[in-house]
């Protein structure tokens, strides 16, 4: 069988975490089986769907690198096809025109509630029959699917197992509204059939639609795909994940400095497991993933774990890969990297201390931007380390770096050791003032390696600036 899966979002907002996980599982299943993955935009609800939301979903998928083999298809471009299938069902008496008005159906509903029966569409209600027989050429109608009255629908959900629903529970669904537009449950079936979808992976909020859709598949003579319904994602307080719990939009994770690789690793573990393993390369995700191993219970979102994974990937992925995503943050912060060391060297040096790309961009700043005034100093760092006691060490450092011929980390290390020996100072008494002078902060990687990347000209200027800063104490 040629596997073909799809992600079929309704573009009413951004790509949220739940949608992204569904898309990823669907994509993974296709990759795992050597199949194809389709993107379909379900934009029939013209009032709620926007171009902005379509763009946001596409942007989110692209950022996660979930490429699609076909599409994006748009349901609004397929109305002729849906209408043709509606006409075919009408001709075969598998669907019928229903003339009962909304008002009438509301009245019947109220009666049903008053009598303690389940409120539902009743094709055999005398007033519905009357509405249909009294209708004229000009009466408004919708088209309803003639759902079987007997038996039950049985299917084996790949995540949730065996599901049986009695047909007596399902009413005659509207497949084309009075205004001529087709409805969700109908379009989905025609699309999945036409697009030859073999596995439907989607959120559990659609599980009640599945038996209705299965009856439509059977009526139009289409082969049934397999179904897999993913459970809900909950926030840390056990309620459905929402904005209250923090970021729910995938692009917000980009904005907050996450790597797509970390987000994907996080998403796959949100409801799927492989022993105790937490970290998976993309190749491993593809080779190990199976829908059967997806949990049917709800998964809880854990922001700390995502941060931990992000730090892991910042430390371990190729600096070249990280650079691609870091560049976006550097541009946002207007840090111009053409004026300083190669960015991959900076990533290698400072990356492991950072949990997010925002931190990494901030920690890259002093390699590329010159300091304008003393406000650039971290106040505490300057007050603590740029004191008159540090003056001698900094002056000596200035002389030594000025005359250093070969600008290497090893030689800069020797410079620091020599100063310690000459002035009989502990390493920190030399290293810390130098660190604050060069980076204007009290935390950084090894100062010799930092100086090496910052470069000779900038290091000289910055030690001179630090000495000017210290000289203010002498004036007072």
Residue whose beta carbon is closest to ligand GLU = 202
- Choices 6-14, 267-275, 324-332, 418-426 (CB under 6 A): range interacting with ligand GLU: 6-14
Return the residue of 3, 15, 49, 188 that touches ligand GLU, per CB under 6 A.
188
Cα within 13 Å of Cα(90), Cβ side: 16
Given strand 199-203, what is the order of strands in its sheet? 70-74, 36-41, 4-7, 199-203, 226-230
C-beta neighbour count of 334 within 10 angstroms: 8
Q: Is 202 in the site for ligand GLU (CB under 6 A)?
A: yes
Confirm if 75 and 41 have CB atoms less than 8 A apart. Answer: yes
Q: Is 9 in the site for ligand GLU (CB under 6 A)?
A: yes
Instruction: Give me the least distance between CB of 42 and ligand GLU, in Å please.
Output: 4
| Residue whose CB is less far from ligand GLU, 10 or 409 | 10
Q: Contacts with ligand GLU in 10-39 (CB under 6 A)?
A: 10
Q: What is residue 284's three-state secondary structure? A: helix
Q: How far is CA 328 from the centre of its chain?
A: 17
Instruction: Give me the least distance between CB of 187 and ligand GLU, in Å please.
Output: 9
DSSP for 334-359? T--TTSSS-HHHHHHHHGGG-SSHHH
- Choices 4-12, 30-38, 159-167, 438-446 (CB under 6 A): range interacting with ligand GLU: 4-12
| Residue whose CB is less far from ligand GLU, 9 or 351 | 9
Q: What is residue 304's three-state secondary structure? A: helix
Q: Which two structure tokens, joined as six digits, stand for 211?
A: 């038996």
Instruction: Give me the least distance between CB of 144 and ligand GLU, in Å please.
Output: 20
Q: Is 182 in the site for ligand GLU (CB under 6 A)?
A: no
Instruction: Give me the least distance between CB of 225 and ligand GLU, in Å please.
Output: 10
Q: Which two structure tokens, joined as six digits, stand for 335?
A: 């840090």
Q: Is 243 annotated as a binding residue?
A: yes
| Residue whose CB is less far from ligand GLU, 125 or 160 | 160
Q: Name the residue among 206, 236, 296 with its Cα closest to residue 19.
A: 206
| Residue whose CB is less far from ligand GLU, 217 or 321 | 217
| Residue whose CB is less far from ligand GLU, 106 or 242 | 242
- Choices 7-15, 54-62, 77-85, 250-258 (CB under 6 A): range interacting with ligand GLU: 7-15
Binding residues for ligand GLU, how many (CB under 6 A)?
7
Q: Contacts with ligand GLU in 206-225 (CB under 6 A)?
A: 206
Report how far apart, in Å, the C-alpha atoms of 343 and of each of 261, 452, 453 are. 20, 14, 10
| Residue whose CB is less far from ligand GLU, 251 or 430 | 251
Site string for ligand GLU, 315-344 (x = CB under 6 A): ------------------------------
Return the residue of 3, 4, 5, 8 that touches ligand GLU, per CB under 6 A.
8
Q: Alpha-carbon distance 15 to 39, whole Å?
A: 13
Q: Alpha-carbon distance 465 to 468, whole Å?
A: 5
Cα within 13 Å of Cα(183), Cβ side: 16
Q: Alpha-carbon distance 145 to 270, whole Å?
A: 37
Which residue do the tokens 């629908």 mark? 153
Q: Is 50 in the site for ligand GLU (CB under 6 A)?
A: no
| Residue whose CB is less far from ligand GLU, 41 or 357 | 41
| Residue whose CB is less far from ligand GLU, 8 or 381 | 8
- Residue 226 host element (H or E): strand 226-230
Q: Contacts with ligand GLU in 78-97 (CB under 6 A)?
A: none
Confirm if 177 and 97 have CB atoms less than 8 A apart. Answer: no
- Which residues sit at the interface with ligand GLU, rule CB under 6 A? 8-10, 42, 188, 202, 206
């Amino acid at each position: 069988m040629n596997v073909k899966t799809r992600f079929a979002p309704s573009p009413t907002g951004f790509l949220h975490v739940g949608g992204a996980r569904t898309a990823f599982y669907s994509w993974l299943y296709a990759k795992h089986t050597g199949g194809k993955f389709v993107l379909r935009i379900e934009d029939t609800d013209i009032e709620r769907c926007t171009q902005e939301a379509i763009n946001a979903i596409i942007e989110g998928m692209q950022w996660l690198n979930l490429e699609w083999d076909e599409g994006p298809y748009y349901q609004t471009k397929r109305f002729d096809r849906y209408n043709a299938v509606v006409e075919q069902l009408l001709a075969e008496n598998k669907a019928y025109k229903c003339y009962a008005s909304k008002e009438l159906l509301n009245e019947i509903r109220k009666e049903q509630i008053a009598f303690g029966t389940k409120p539902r569409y009743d094709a055999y209600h005398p007033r519905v029959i009357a509405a249909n027989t009294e209708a004229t050429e000009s009466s408004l109608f919708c088209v309803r699917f003639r759902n079987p009255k007997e038996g039950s629908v049985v299917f084996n959900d790949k995540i949730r197992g065996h599901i049986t629903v009695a047909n007596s529970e399902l009413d005659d669904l509207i497949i084309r509204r009075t205004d001529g537009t087709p409805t969700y449950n109908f379009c989905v079936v025609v699309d999945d059939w036409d697009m030859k979808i073999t596995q439907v992976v989607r959120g559990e909020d659609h599980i009640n639609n599945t038996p209705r859709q299965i009856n439509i598949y059977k009526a139009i003579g289409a082969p049934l795909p397999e179904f897999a319904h993913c459970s809900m994602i909950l926030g840390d307080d056990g309620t459905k994940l929402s904005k209250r719990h923090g970021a729910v939009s995938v692009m917000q994770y980009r904005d907050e400095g996450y790597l797509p690789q970390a987000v994907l690793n996080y998403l796959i573990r949100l409801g799927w497991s492989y022993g105790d393993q937490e970290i998976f390369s993309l190749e491993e995700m593809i080779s190990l993933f199976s829908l059967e191993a997806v949990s049917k219970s709800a998964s809880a979102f854990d922001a700390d774990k995502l941060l931990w994974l992000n730090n892991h990937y910042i430390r371990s992925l190729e600096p070249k890969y990280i650079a691609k995503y870091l560049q976006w943050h550097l541009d946002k912060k207007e840090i111009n990297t053409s004026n300083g060391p190669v960015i991959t060297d900076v990533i290698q040096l400072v990356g492991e201390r950072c949990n997010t790309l925002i931190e990494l961009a901030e920690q890259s700043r002093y390699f590329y931007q010159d300091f304008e005034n003393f406000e650039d100093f971290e106040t505490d760092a300057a007050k603590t380390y740029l004191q008159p006691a540090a003056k001698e060490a900094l002056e000596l450092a200035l002389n030594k770096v000025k005359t250093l011929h070969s600008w290497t980390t090893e030689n800069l290390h020797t410079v620091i050791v020599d100063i310690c020996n000459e002035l009989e100072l502990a390493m920190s008494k030399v290293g810390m003032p130098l660190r604050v002078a060069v980076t204007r902060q009290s935390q950084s990687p090894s100062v010799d390696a930092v100086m090496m990347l910052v470069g000779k000209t900038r290091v000289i200027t910055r030690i001179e600036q630090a000495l000017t800063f210290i000289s203010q104490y002498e004036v007072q």
